[in-house]
Each structure stands twice: as C-alpha cells, then as structure tokens.
C-alpha cells in the first residue's frame, strides 16, 4: 500500500472514530435528559398531589433522590418568589430540573433544554388523567404572552382534588417554538379574587 493510500485510510479511520464518539456522547446526553412526561410526573407527584404542602414536597424530593440545589451555581431566588422555601435538583439529569416549594404552598418545577410544545402536551395529558381519577379540573385561561423578548404560552386550569374544599391553579408556561428552552410548571392556591395580570405565573417567568 502506498504512503498516500495509507495516510488516506488512517484519516478515514480517525474521522469515523471521531464521529462515532461524538454520536455516543450526544446519545448519552439525550438519554440523561428527562422527557416531558417525566418532568410533569415530578410536578404532579411533588406539587399537585400534596397540594403544595412544604413538608410533603420536601419528603417526596428526598425520598426520590433529589438534592438541595447548589445556590452558588444557581440563583434560586426567582423560583422562590421572595418566599421562604426549598429548592431541589433532579438527580442524574443532563439538563437542569429544579423543584421549588415555598411556605405559602406555591410549587414550581423549572426545566431547561426542553421543547415547550412537548411539555405543554404532557401537562394536558396529566390534567386529563387527574379528571379520570375524580378530580375537578376547569379551564382558567390559555394565552400567549411576551416575556424577556420571547413569546410564551401560559395555560392554567383550576384544580380541586376528590373530596377537597380548596381550589388551586395548576399551569404550564412554555416557549411557543419546538426548539429546546426553559419551561416551567407551577402550582398555587387560587385567590378569592383572581388577579387580572400574570402575577400568578412563576416569578422567574415574569
């Protein structure tokens, strides 16, 4: 085999190996990312079912391997909205997934690098499942808003568990486009007189 041909073959081997390794790294990264259904499941189990109770949400997070968020790397203040509370990070996730719960029974799940429409669909499916379990779920609003120069969809419903006496707002704020971005799910008590603004949206989205 000539020197030129040996060099060509060697270059091809290096290129193929490099491409394969890159594909493996991308596959591993994608495998470590939670899908939309998993994120919504965290929201339902940690926020909706315990109805935003701080102790119950913290116990759920600890029992499921969540760890306190590193506040030196992440500014958790917008997630807490100025209220006392706790913020936890989802384990073994290539994309940040944060669970924030406050003493006033507000609970938020924040996720990065996820498709907005995918999370919205998963939320709608979860809301339908709550209805099949006997919960009362009623539309509150579904609107498109502009925040920080980006268009987002804010879908919120009124929720009351089976046998419950208090209403809560559960909602999802997502990017309009399918490209991966930052998304949020939120849970909060419904005030006697609902505000006319987006004050009930996650503080981090306002």
pLDDT, tens digit (0-9, with 9 covering 90-100), for 94-119: 888 999 999 999 999 999 999 999 99
Q: In sequence order, which ranges of 2-73 are alpha helices (DSSP H)?
A: 3-32, 36-43, 54-63
**162-198 pLDDT tens trace:** 999 999 999 999 999 988 999 999 999 998 665 555 5
Number of H helices, E strands in the chain: 5, 8
Residue 32 has pLDDT above 90, yes or no: no
Query: Which residues lie across from 110 on neighbouring strands?
Result: 98, 184
Q: Which phi and psi (to 5°) does residue 187 adopt?
A: -135, 135
Q: What is the pLDDT of residue 17?
A: 44
CB 122 within 8 A of CB 174: no
pLDDT of residue 197: 53
Show me where the domains of the chain are located. 1-32, 35-205
**DSSP 8-state assignment for residue 122:** H
| pLDDT, position 20 | 44
Is the pLDDT confidence value at 33 over 70? no
Residues whose CB falls within 8 Å of the CB of residue 88, separated by 6 or more in sequence, listed in order: 58, 61, 62, 66, 67, 68, 69, 98, 99, 100
Rounded to 5 degrees, what angle do the CA atoms 48, 57, 85 make?
Answer: 110
Q: Is the pLDDT of residue 38 over 90?
A: yes
Residue 138's contacts (CB-CB under 8 Å, 6 or more residues apart) are: 157, 158
d(CA 114, CA 46): 20
Helices (H), 113-198: 116-132
**How far apart are the C-alpha atoms of 203 and 26, rounded to whole Å?**
33
Per-residue pLDDT, 3: 44
């Amino acid at each position: 085999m000539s020197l030129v041909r040996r060099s060509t073959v060697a270059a091809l081997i290096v290129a193929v190996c490099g491409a394969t390794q890159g594909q493996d790294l991308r596959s591993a990264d994608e495998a470590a990312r939670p899908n939309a259904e998993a994120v919504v499941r965290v929201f339902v189990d940690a926020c909706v079912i315990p109805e935003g109770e701080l102790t119950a949400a913290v116990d759920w997070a600890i029992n499921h391997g969540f760890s306190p968020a590193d506040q030196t790397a992440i500014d958790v203040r917008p997630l807490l909205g100025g209220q006392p509370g706790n913020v936890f990070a989802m384990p073994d996730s290539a994309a940040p997934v944060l669970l924030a719960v406050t003493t006033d029974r507000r609970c938020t799940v924040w996720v990065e690098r996820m498709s907005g429409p995918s999370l919205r669909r998963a939320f709608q499916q979860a809301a339908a499942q709550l209805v099949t379990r006997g919960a009362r779920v009623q539309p509150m609003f579904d609107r498109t808003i502009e925040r920080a120069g980006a268009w987002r969809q804010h879908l919120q419903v009124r929720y009351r568990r089976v046998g419950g006496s208090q209403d809560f707002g559960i909602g999802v704020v997502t990017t309009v486009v399918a490209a991966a971005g930052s998304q949020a799910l939120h849970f909060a008590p419904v005030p006697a007189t609902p505000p006319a603004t987006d004050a009930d949206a996650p503080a981090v989205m306002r």
